[in-house]
Amino acid sequence: MYRYNEFDRDFLAERNLQFRAQVERRIDGSLTEDEFKPLRLMNGLYLQLHAYMLRVAIPYGTLNSAQMRQLALLAEKWDKGYGHFTTRQNIQYNWPRLRDVPDMLDALAEVGLHAIQTSGNTIRNVTADHFAGAAADEVADPRPVAELLRQWSTDHPEFQFMPRKFKIAITGAPNDRAVTAAHDIGLRIVEQDGEIGYQVLVGGGLGRTPMIGKVLAEFIPAADLLPYLEATVAVWNVIGRRDNKYKARIKILVHEFGLENLREEVETEFALRKPLYAGGKDVALLEEIKAHFVAPTFETAPVDAFDTAYAADPIFRSWADTNLAEHRADGYAIATISLKKQGDTPGDATADQMRVMADLASQYGHDELRISHEQNVILPHVHKRHLPALHAALQKAGLATANIGLISDIIACPGMDYCALATARSIPVAQEIATRFEELKLEHEVGPLKIKISGCINACGHHHVGHIGILGLDRAGVENYQITLGGDGTEDAVIGTRTGPGFAYDEIVGAVETIVTTYLGLRQDAGETFLQAYRRVGIEPFKSALYPEAKTRAA
């Protein structure tokens, strides 16, 4: 876990002091909203539908228990007792008052957290694989590099007023759990002849023009990473479009200017910037940061307690089957805590639940927690002998839902229940889908299925890469939901295909049920997942089921 040094602490204190003064000047009238807005956005403060919203970064999704407790304190003291974990490894508070925000930021700084660059046309919170440092399939822990990028990009003077926001994600494993192909830059740690380096993807993104990232460089050695990324962002910063905000992201540059041309420009720029890094300070810093991310000392102990509970307790078994993932250390597991209890708001946790998770992390999980872009919380290092006790404690806190990767483990953006940009609601759609399949008792039979819901075209809910994606729109003053099928956010990233006309608010849950029933009817056996079946049969059977009247007309 990265620990702030004097410089980090002073920087944050200074920045919070500046923002406190800016808030005061806004309140006393010496700053207009036009002047204040970019300042508050730089510090993660939005004005939403019903209130202000503070977006706090959880860099590369990593927290310790003290930080999680502090997030609980903020929820309780300055909000309505809960927080919302987002698809970008942030936490959002939906009800802060303007006057309280500087105090909230100071409280965050006490545990080394902040809201800097969680908004605005800057390099945003760098996200990473939520199993980083624990996954069995990992080449290297991506978090030290993510931390290096955070330090490099924070207040980077060249990158404060860019054409648009810029998002970077990094994975250290070949199984991409960080959706790197849907980011402005996606980094994948790879090994070549014993050397660790980075495959650089560029121009991915969802939103109104969804694009899958393309490989800009196959292998960038560690010593070249910062100058190479700096060159890439710099080229876009200069030639990226500023005339139209919808065409400003780097994906449009890649599309219009061409990958080859961009690569050439980046290479030229890289040659100019590389000498500036000649001292190797960035490499030395990376080594220093790595020391903060040394894995805990894993225990060697029998796992009988786990085996016994697994054999005897069907509820524990069901949870273990869905919520545990393979750990790189013997006797350990990665435990995902679902924030998707059927009927609840995806990604929300109460202050009490946050404290329970913090306690469990310190008691059983080497004091580590992770937040996933899928809006769940992870205890990355739990020895298997503790899992029965962990599960029992989670049950008491309403946190033992056994549904990771299943139909009710839905990503949903805040939608029009909170967001000022939204065109329709997302949360109640997610709640109703989860509840419906819970009632039908179909969830486990259906198996792995990712539903992702966005309440507007900006696609915070990642609907394009959902196996079933749902996009809420405003059609002539009525909420309307479009469906896409076959999207995939992994290393084989694919943008989903639209089924056809959208569905009304009271039809959308039924439409999802139709899709799932169609899948169950056509799958070869219980082992063929929804995505596999979709890839085999294509969209037509689902279309016919969704739009029977169209079939009749065509006949």
Stretch that binds another protein, among 44-52, 320-328, 331-339, 456-464 (CB under 8 A): 44-52
User: Should residue 80 be labelled a site residue for another protein when binding is judged by CB under 8 A?
Assistant: yes
Among 18, 48, 363, 435, binds another protein (CB under 8 A): 48
Q: CB of 69: closest distance to another protein in angstroms?
A: 23
Is 506 a residue that touches another protein (CB under 8 A)?
no
Q: Does 345 bind another protein (CB under 8 A)?
A: yes
Residues 358-377 close enough to bind another protein by CB under 8 A:
none
Taking CB under 8 A as the rule, does residue 98 contact another protein? yes
Among positions 164-223, residues that touch another protein (CB under 8 A) are none
* Ramachandran quadrant class, 365 (left: phi over 0; alpha: psi -120 to 50; beta: rest): alpha
Q: Which of 52, 219, 277, 298 binds another protein (CB under 8 A)?
A: 52
314 binds another protein per the rule CB under 8 A = no
Which residue of 97, 292, 535, 536 would you call a contact of another protein, by CB under 8 A? 97
Helices 314-323 and 387-396: crossing angle in degrees, nearest 10, is 100
Judged by CB under 8 A, the number of residues near another protein is 31
Query: What's the CA gap between 228 and 457, in Å, rounded?
Result: 31
262 phi/psi in degrees, rounded to 5: -65, -45
Partner residues linked to 45 by β-bridges: 54
- Candidates 103, 155, 474, 513; binder of another protein (CB under 8 A) is 474
Closer CB to another protein, residue 353 or residue 518?
Answer: 353
Residue 33 C-beta: closest distance to another protein, Å: 5
Sign, CA dihedral 324-327-331-334, equals negative
Which one, 76 or 359, has the nearer CB to another protein? Answer: 76
416 makes contact with another protein (CB under 8 A): yes
Q: Find the shortest distance in angstroms from Cβ 345 to another protein.
A: 5
Shortest gap between Cβ of 105 and another protein (angstroms)? 16
Reported for 239-245, long-range contacts at CB under 8 A and 24+ positions apart, including other chains, are 239/265, 240/162, 240/163, 240/164, 241/163, 242/163, 245/164
Distance CA 445, CA 32 (A): 57
Using the rule CB under 8 A, which residue among 50, 245, 536, 551 binds another protein? 50
Nearest CB to another protein, comparing residues 443 and 479: 479
**Least distance to another protein from the beta carbon of 107, Å?**
19
Question: According to the binding rule CB under 8 A, does residue 398 interact with another protein?
Answer: no
Interaction mask 131-170, another protein, x per CB under 8 A: ----------------------------------------
Q: Which stretch binds another protein (CB under 8 A): 22-30, 140-148, 208-216, 366-374?
A: 22-30
User: Quick one: which of 257, 319, 418, 542 contacts another protein (CB under 8 A)?
Assistant: 418
State which of residues 431, 454, 484, 518 lies at the interface with another protein (CB under 8 A): 431
What are the structure tokens assigned to 246, written together? Answer: 């919808």
Nearer to another protein, 342 or 499 (CB): 342
Q: Which residue has the tokens 């919302």?
A: 84
How far is residue 287's CA from residue 277's CA, in Å, rounded to a whole number? 15
Which residues ranging from 477 to 496 are in contact with another protein (CB under 8 A)? Answer: 477-479
Cα distances from 115 to residues 64, 150, 325, in angstroms, run 17, 12, 30
Q: Applying CB under 8 A, which part among 192-200, 320-328, 384-392, 476-484 lies near another protein?
A: 476-484
Binding residue for another protein, selected from 3, 77, 99, 281, defined by CB under 8 A = 99
Query: Near another protein by CB under 8 A, which window of 10-18, 155-163, 398-406, 425-433?
Result: 425-433
For helices 427-440 and 508-522, the axis angle rounded to 10 degrees is: 40
For residues 449 and 490, the answer to whether their CB atoms sit within 8 Å is: no
By the rule CB under 8 A, 29 interacts with another protein: yes
CB 174 within 8 A of CB 162: no
**What's the CA gap between 93 and 53, in Å, rounded?**
5
Residue 155 carries which DSSP code? T
Stretch that binds another protein, among 194-202, 269-277, 471-479, 487-495 (CB under 8 A): 471-479
H helices, E strands: number in the chain:
19, 21
Based on CB atoms, which residue is closest to another protein, 359 or 474? 474
CB-side exposure of 4: number of CA atoms within 13 Å? 16
Based on the shown chain and the rule CB under 8 A, indicate whether residue 244 belongs to the binding site for another protein. no
Question: Which residue, 3 or 77, has its beta carbon nearer to another protein?
Answer: 77
Q: In angstroms, how far is the first alpha carbon of the chain from the final one?
A: 63
Q: Of 197, 273, 198, 206, nearest to 235 (Cα)?
A: 273
Question: Across the strands, what pairs with 503?
Answer: 481
Pick 40 or 391: Cβ nearer another protein: 40
Alpha helix (H) ranges present in 274-419? 281-290, 304-312, 314-323, 351-364, 387-396
Stretch that binds another protein, among 231-239, 296-304, 413-421, 526-534 (CB under 8 A): 413-421
Those residues whose C-beta lies under 8 Å from the C-beta of residue 440, and which sit 6 or more positions away, are 513
One DSSP character per residue, 498-533 reads E-SS-EETTTHHHHHHHHHHHHHHH-SSTTS-HHHH
Residues contributing to the site for another protein (CB under 8 A): 26-29, 32-33, 47-52, 80, 94-99, 345, 416-418, 425, 427-428, 431, 474, 477-479
